[in-house]
Structure 1
Amino acid sequence: MPITPANGQTAGDPAVSTPGGAAEPIMLELVDEDGTTIGTAEKLAAHQPPGQLHRAFSVFLFDEKGRLLLQRRALGKYHSPGVWSNTCCGHPYPGEAPFAAAARRTAEELGLAPSLLAEAGTVRYNHPDPASGLVEQEYNHLFVGLVRAEPAPDPEEIGEIAFVTPEELAERHAEAPFSAWFMTVLDAARPAVRELTGRSAGW
């Protein structure tokens, strides 16, 4: 039975407290190399070395000027805190469609609904996080879209946001820490990004 958002779970916490005070673990959907569901695992356990391959999603939203919306992950996140990353990323609940999960988490983290959200393929990767020792073994569903509303970030999830051009992203990436998976998912999404923004945007 799918875990629903009514459980109060967030992508930033390995477990949450239920009304009765008991900790309820967040469950992820395990997949094979073809992306077929093969079971579930608790979130933190799935990220312990060497990692278990699980379903994830990454969202890239752009404004009308073709600038990418970045977020800096909140310092309270247990995984990759304080680093810059793409607009939104996370894990579908078991049984939840990746598109629905991407829209849900965008609303939860940024307080907005994209004016357009489209599938942009998938990418499979294995990225250890040197700071935490956790491992991202993910089958990642990619989404690109447009945003016209003003973001209202949840401070428990996001420490800072920025809209950047390709040139500004290159400068920021050279100077500031980014998530281990950022360039992998961006490179995989580039064909869809260029179709969305136009090649003149430079992506």
Structure 2
Amino acid sequence: MPTTPATAAHTSSNGVQPSGVEPSIMLELVDEDGRTIGTAEKLSAHLAPGRLHRAFSVFLFDESGRLLLQRRALGKYHSPGVWSNTCCGHPYPGEAPFAAAARRTHEELGVSPSLMAEAGTVRYNHPDPASGLVEQEFNHLFVGMVQGPLRPDPEEIEDTAFVTAAELTERHASAPFSAWFMTVLDAARPAIKELTGPAGGW
């Protein structure tokens, strides 16, 4: 059963909570095999050198096989203003990754994914040079379709774009992307190709 976030807010070492930090969000710490070993507050889990925790990444496509990207809001404390996959985040302790991915996609984009399916897992360690935070994540991947108009939450998302594989290559060469984007995309490619078909170019 999902648990609710704890109630105590986190502050940084100088006693000031960074702008854009959601207070009291708890993450699930895991071992190298993805087994739960405890919990930690969200920001503390990302402070260098980082603590390995459970995460998810979602890749949604329209009926033309274009990938929905989001540009992270400028007010976010971690990787603000960069492009990334459709949605990413962390399950609450005890929450199933699939349920968390569907929940968070709706919270951020105002739509519920359809035909969403598991696409494996990937473990990585990606420092964010701008903030000094570290992504030590055991990431559950999901692919699916998006239908209906988007209603992005401006506190989470600065912009959105649907891109073909070729357009993504061009955008990635010219615009900043999240440190983890290519890692999760490459890990999800087999499932993406199965979803979009060979004509999609993914």
- Provide TM-score, normalisation by structure 2: 0.91
Structure 2 distance, partners of 1:162, 1:15, is 25
Give the conservation status (yes or no) of the 8 Å contact 1:27–1:40.
Answer: yes
- Secondary structure in 1 matching 2:178: coil
- The residue that corresponds to 1:59 in the other structure is 58
Measure, in 1, the Cα distance between the counterparts of 2:85 and 2:148: 17
Please list, as runs of the form range in 1=range in 2, the aligned pairs for 1:11-160 lying within 5 A after superposition: 13-16=20-23, 25-160=24-159
The 8 Å contact of residues 14 and 26 in structure 1, kept in 2 or not, is answered as: no
Counterpart of 2:15 in structure 1 is none
Q: Quick one: distance in 1 between partners of 2:141 and 2:156?
A: 20
Which amino acid is 1:14 matched to? V
Percentage of identical aligned residues: 80
CA distance in 2, matches of 1:102, 1:184: 18
The TM-score with structure 1 as length reference comes to 0.91
Structure 2 unaligned segments of length 5 or more: list them.
10-18
Map Cα deviations across residues 122-177 of structure 1 (whole Å, 9 max, x no partner): 00000000000000000000000011111110000000000000010001000000
Deviations 1:81-127 (A, max 9, x none): 00000000000000000000000000000000112110000000000
CA contact (8 A) 2:97 2:140 kept: yes
Give CA deviations for 1:25-68 in whole Å, capped at 9, x if unaligned.
21100000000000001111100111000000000000000000
Residue correspondences, number? 192
In 1, Cα distance between the equivalents of 2:99 and 2:2?
Answer: 13
The verdict on how the C-alpha distance between 1:186 and 1:51 changes in structure 2, with shifts beyond 3 A counting, is same
Unaligned 5+ runs, structure 1: 17-24
